[in-house]
């Protein structure tokens, strides 16, 4: 699956996350081995109602 296909597939999740937390998460802001890992963390964050920083390591360390 290409990055564009993944972005279209997971757009509803990103939108839901943005509605919950007030910002749109970007895979480039986190240390991920793949987009699959980023989206898995995104799904966990939404289900747990916690920010993504609790599931993935931020490159910025303050996010």
Tens-binned pLDDT, residue by residue, of the chain (63 aa): 777 887 788 899 999 999 999 999 998 999 988 888 999 999 999 999 999 999 999 988 654
Quote the pTM value: 0.82
User: Do 30 and 41 form a contact (C-beta atoms < 8 A)?
Assistant: yes
| Helical pair 35-48 and 3-21, crossing angle rounded to 10 deg | 30
pLDDT at 46: 97
User: Do 31 and 52 form a contact (C-beta atoms < 8 A)?
Assistant: no
pLDDT at 12: 94
pLDDT at 33: 85
User: Do 27 and 38 form a contact (C-beta atoms < 8 A)?
Assistant: yes
């Amino acid at each position: 699956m290409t990055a564009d296909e993944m972005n279209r597939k997971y757009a509803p999740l990103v939108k839901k996350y943005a509605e919950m937390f007030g910002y749109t998460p970007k895979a480039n802001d986190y240390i991920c081995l793949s987009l699959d890992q980023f989206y898995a963390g995104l799904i966990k964050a939404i289900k747990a109602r916690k920010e993504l920083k609790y599931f993935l390591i931020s490159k910025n360390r303050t996010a």
